[in-house]
Amino acid sequence: MSEKPKGMLVLEDGSTFIGESLGASGEWFGEVVFDTGMTGYQEVITDPSCCGQMVVFTCPHIGNVGVNCEDAESARPHAMAVLARKICEHPSNWRSQQSLPEYLRAHGVPALSGLDTRRLTLTLRDKGTMRGALSTVNLDREYLLEKARSTPDISELDLVDQVTIAEARPWAEPLVSAWTPSLAVDSPAEADRPHVVVVDCGTKHSILRTLVSLGARVTLVPANATADEVLAHAPDGVLFANGPGDPMRVSATIATARALVGRVPLFGICMGHQVLGMACGARYFKLPFGHHGDNHPVRDLATGRVIITAQNHNYAIHEDSLKGLPLEVTYVNLYDGTVEGLRHKELPVASVQFHPEASPGPHDGLYILQNVIDSFRKQ
């Protein structure tokens, strides 16, 4: 049996990792983050929020159930690279249509297996998110170190422009009911279905499917849509969804949100949470190594209930910046105390930093989207 080709990852601090190359061949340069989820590798890899990022999976074995067309969060992978301790090449699951390495090779995404992901994760946790260079064709450490250090910081890139849609279009696909909990919705009459316009900064398909399954009519608009263009669709509510990169890069989206405050009910998820916070005057900051995974505990301050959430972001709203603003904190992260939710004190504007539809992950926060749809319906 021939030996598998090797690949090398070098971080900007000089940390070096060598593994077996199971994906595409070539060179890649980007930000390296770690994801602590135990399941849902396909959803993570296809999440547009991962654009520009090489993802380290802390789960020691991924790829076991292969890849299928139903679990993807977008039409293609958006993670720049997949880094793991062990990637299964021969999946065993009746839903599998392709192995993970085959899927990644078909889409030009590199994958390194056999890495010391414990050391890699601890390095990122202790030193913070870093830039990295990965190659399967040139395993010269000094060359890759120079490439890692010269790679632009992800905050300098307009990644949302790479993942947003080009023009408005409807979305009608619901959740695949066999793989999701029953939702408290009977098929409503067309007139009773609230029209939700989703500003697409890189929206996950599961968010759109959940909205439809909860009884909404959904229209997607580009991230740079103006307030007038959004209102032209006559929405009952507007949702600003997730997306990759630094929220400051979506200044047009923030301006749209600011112009819509008080004119139509608004809700934000992940980057949308940051967009709405900044539209109302809040500031944000970059977390040391971000929140990536489906096991993050969050407290609902209204009820005291702790919910386990799915998260994928590198930025957070600065709580001190809320002083004097008409905003109050609704959810708090129990790992580090960061702001996980906001609500306007006077207007129908709210947001959460985590993913309430939780794909992949637990469905503890699903009630939040149910409440949002109900509130849009009542307006």
Check residue 3 and report its DSSP letter: P
**Residue (of 115, 140, 214) closest to 174 by Cα position:** 214
Phi and psi torsions of 78, nearest 5°: -115, -20
The strand pair at 195-200 and 169-171 is best described as unpaired
Q: Measured between alpha carbons, how far is 237 from 267 in angstroms, rounded to an integer?
A: 8
Cβ burial 279-317 (10 Å sphere, 16+ → b, else e): bbebebeebebbbbbbebebbbeeeeeebbbbbbbbbbb
Q: Measured between alpha carbons, how far is 159 from 67 in angstroms, rounded to an integer?
A: 25
Give me the active site residues, please: 270, 355, 357
Amino acid 163 reads V
**Residue (of 370, 93, 53, 35) closest to 243 by Cα position:** 53
Number of H helices, E strands in the chain: 10, 17
Cβ neighbours of residue 378 closer than 8 Å, sequence gap 6 or more: none
